[in-house]
Structure 1
Amino acid sequence: MDAPLKHIVIDARSMFTSTGRYTRNLIEHLETLDQEHRYTIVLPRAHYDQWNPRSALFSKVATDTPYFSWREQTGFARELRNLQPDLVHFAMPQQPLYVGAPRVTTFHDMTLLKIRNHKKHWAVSLAKRAIGVAAFAAIAHRSRVNLVDSVYSGRDLIAYTRASASSVTLTYPAADSITEPPHPVPVPFERFVLYVGTQVPYKNLSRLISAVAALRAADASIGLVVAGKIDGDGALLAKNLDERSRAGVHFAGFVSDAELRWLYENAAVYAFPSFYEGFGLPGLEAMRHGCAVVSSNATCLPEVYGDAAVYFDPSRVSEIGAALSQVLADPEIAAGLRERGRRRAEMYSWRFMALRTLDSYRDALAR
């Protein structure tokens, strides 16, 4: 008689958040790759009808438990135990400390621990980060396998949690091609530098704006387009810009996938000035759509982008401007970056990420 299939539960509450692309791609590829386990996918009740399994080995359940809640440690833990899993994969480090089963955890980055929340009093922010370090360390030591998005993120995880290096497995994400036909976006510049993402301070958008403003002194046809929902930080940044800087930046706000594709395909250069990233997906997405990239040399970005970007020190406005000037002024440099960028983006695969994760499940179940 055949032994029953091992039961893996995936906490997919993150499927409909900013990291949801990772969770969704993982599950969708596991459905086609894995015939040796059965799966239960835990979804937020508010989005329960927005995902349905395609494989008979996959089922779904709903939960009302939000991240960072007391219920996460009590009621959600009971919900998971009642599913009687042989293994639980948490797609985020926010999770119950006790689940009564082996676990695998994905740590995308250490942003919660490294970046001060400037919206909170410094003492509150410091206390929350200290609690976060303790919680992350407890989770990392309880997990049989810790999945990370880059070598840099793995080193960060070990430095902050003292987790064993043997527990850390690298599973690079990938950049999707946008399949919708491109839809034009009104842009008030003849040529534009593109930035996509949030406007939190560590993304360093203020220095990028200053660098573009300086370039406009020699060529007023150039400007910066910022794509992405304008958050509180973005609104404050825009409000405090001087007249010279304001003339050189256009906040496009939220854009659809079709509009984002048009922006990637029509930008003169994509700029990623961030001080801290766990992987740097927007730059890779720009490469996939044939956009030349200039990037911060901080954290994981040189690891992920390789020779497909021009790098700069993100703390120096002059270096940001010099990197942009190289690409804007020299069509050969821009063409070389576009070609290398397409090749670089092809190196990353959601299918390979899922295969590496499946190997991690086997490893965790065998320990």
Structure 2
Amino acid sequence: MKKICIDARLYGIRHTGIGRYVQNLITNLPDPSSVTLIISPENAALPELKQFSKYTARYHPYTYLSQFEMLWLLLKIRPALLHVPHFTVPFLWPGKIVVTIHDLIKHLSKGPATTTRSPAVYWLKYLQYLFIVWFTVRRAAHIIVPANFWKYELIKRFKIPAVKISVTYEGVSPLFLSGSSSAVDIPDYRPYILHVGNVYPHKNIPLLLDAVKELNGEVLAILVCARSVFTQKIQALIDEKYLNKWVKFFGSVSDSQLHYLYQNSLALVFPSLIEGFGLPGLEAMAAGTPVIAARASVLPEIYQDAALYFDPKSASDLAQKIGILISDSALRSKLIAKGKKQVKKYSWSDMSQKTWAIYRKELR
């Protein structure tokens, strides 16, 4: 097979969703001998990558200098096809490119409230982002997306032929399908609902807080996310609404600890207005936890009838759905069973195999 190169500079879970995608794509490929990786220096010695040919790149994909570094490396590698698993392709490389666009959240959730930058800097960066995505979708020979929702968004916004876009659903770590977990100290005796992920404005956390307030202490809410300026804003809102007794922040946790939190929660609550794929919901289903999700963006496509849905603009509707799960054990058991069945549809191995088939088709 002709030589394939993958931009793997964002490999690994420290790069969150994209990093997990790149890691699972690469470690499940059927023929490593045909693949050359461009990786960051810290990943050069990883044992799971020893079977791949590798080149190291010093610069982050979203920097200007990376454009020149990538061109220099690609001229040395001379691949028949380059896969870029993010929206910044090498502008100067003339060869065939497959790109993965994980979402268009910045197109749908925009404005100075979505950033920590000053308005002037934000709008400058935003215009740059719009140009880069516009260039990338036209430059790519083929585009991979994680859901039909994003396929149709790309078609609508950029008038791209449907045949140029393929959907490869993502997968769930085997850890969440197993029984093993690491205990976490939960500072309350009440049942708790869980939210996993960042707290950017499109995550709709204020609505979740309003629902918790309506429930008046019936449940504890645990928010699992890395600390940021946005968590500070949410904490200020918690203080303002006098919810400190009922809402607790957990920082970043290991997958094993997260598994424990899923297993012991009343439900995972996903109030997000826009989501790239909704992986935490599938992780919760794999762990045997019901999911309460906003009827918005990709979530109904990914979860289908295995989640309990609510209006993402109505805190009362969310509070009602949480209340139903507290009192209706039969419904909870039914959602757990449906979730276990639904999650079987998603596999990192299948995603990698389908991506490999796209490579082969493009190299004909």
Q: Distance in 2 between matches of 1:359 and 1:104?
A: 12
Q: Secondary structure at the match of 1:208?
A: helix
Instruction: Give 2:4's aligned residue.
Output: 8
Distance change (3 Å), C-alpha of 1:38 and 1:134? same
Q: CA deviation at 1:240?
A: 3.3
Q: Which residues of 2 match residues 20-99 of structure 1 at below 5 A?
A: 20-30=19-29, 33-34=30-31, 38-50=34-46, 52-53=48-49, 55=51, 58-99=52-93
1:186 aligns with 2:185: yes
Q: CA deviation at 1:278?
A: 1.5
The answer to which of 182-191 and 310-319 deviates more is 182-191
Instruction: Give 2:164's aligned residue.
Output: 167
Distance change (3 Å), C-alpha of 1:238 and 1:51? farther
Distance change (3 Å), C-alpha of 1:183 and 1:221? farther
Q: Distance in 1 between matches of 2:55 and 2:242?
A: 53
Letter in 1 for 2:126: R
Instruction: Give 1:254's aligned residue.
Output: 252
Query: Contact 2:57/2:69 (CA < 8 Å) preserved in 1?
Result: no
Query: Contact 2:41/2:57 (CA < 8 Å) preserved in 1?
Result: yes
Instruction: Give 1:202's aligned residue.
Output: 202
Q: CA deviation at 1:229?
A: 1.6
Q: What number of residue pairs does the alignment pair up?
A: 354
Query: Contact 2:55/2:73 (CA < 8 Å) preserved in 1?
Result: no
TM-score in terms of structure 1 length: 0.91
Q: Distance in 1 between matches of 2:67 and 2:220?
A: 48
Q: CA deviation at 1:321?
A: 1.0
Q: Secondary structure at the match of 2:180?
A: coil
Unaligned runs of 5+ in 1: none
Q: Distance in 2 between matches of 1:130 and 1:356?
A: 33
Letter in 2 for 1:20: G
Instruction: Give 2:131's aligned residue.
Output: 134
Q: Distance in 1 between matches of 2:326 and 2:179?
A: 28
Letter in 2 for 1:84: R
Q: CA deviation at 1:180?
A: 8.0
Query: Contact 2:193/2:269 (CA < 8 Å) preserved in 1?
Result: yes
Q: Distance in 1 between matches of 2:105 and 2:84?
A: 18
Instruction: Give 2:106's aligned residue.
Output: 112
Q: Distance in 1 between matches of 2:356 and 2:50?
A: 18
Letter in 2 for 1:202: H
Q: Secondary structure at the match of 1:182?
A: coil
Instruction: Give 2:142's aligned residue.
Output: 145
Q: Distance in 2 between matches of 1:51 and 1:276?
A: 36
| RMSD, aligned CA | 1.8
TM-score in terms of structure 2 length: 0.92
Q: CA deviation at 1:295?
A: 0.2
Which deviations, in whole Å up to 9, do the C-alpha atoms of 1:37-59 show, x marking residues without a partner? 6111111113322354354xx21
Q: CA deviation at 1:123?
A: 4.7
Q: CA deviation at 1:356?
A: 1.0
Q: Distance in 2 between matches of 1:54 and 1:133?
A: 37
Query: Contact 1:48/1:62 (CA < 8 Å) preserved in 2?
Result: yes
Q: Distance in 2 between matches of 1:355 and 1:140?
A: 23
Instruction: Give 2:295's aligned residue.
Output: 297
Q: Distance in 2 between matches of 1:254 and 1:87?
A: 36
The answer to which of 324-333 and 340-349 deviates more is 324-333
Which deviations, in whole Å up to 9, do the C-alpha atoms of 1:125-156 show, x marking residues without a partner? 34433332222121111111100000001112
Q: Distance in 1 between matches of 2:179 and 2:74?
A: 38
Q: CA deviation at 1:293?
A: 0.4
Instruction: Give 2:304's aligned residue.
Output: 306
Query: Contact 2:37/2:54 (CA < 8 Å) preserved in 1?
Result: yes
Q: Distance in 1 between matches of 2:180 and 2:351?
A: 27
Q: Distance in 1 between matches of 2:335 and 2:275?
A: 21
Query: Contact 1:65/1:76 (CA < 8 Å) preserved in 2?
Result: no
Q: Distance in 2 between matches of 1:343 and 1:279?
A: 18
Which deviations, in whole Å up to 9, do the C-alpha atoms of 1:198-235 show, x marking residues without a partner? 1111111121122112112xxx3511011122222012
Instruction: Give 1:361's aligned residue.
Output: 359
One of 222, 233, 242 as aligned partner of 1:225: 222
Unaligned runs of 5+ in 2: none
Distance change (3 Å), C-alpha of 1:39 and 1:363? same
Letter in 2 for 1:108: H
1:212 aligns with 2:212: yes
Which deviations, in whole Å up to 9, do the C-alpha atoms of 1:240-297 show, x marking residues without a partner? 3235322210112121222111111000111000011111000111001000000011
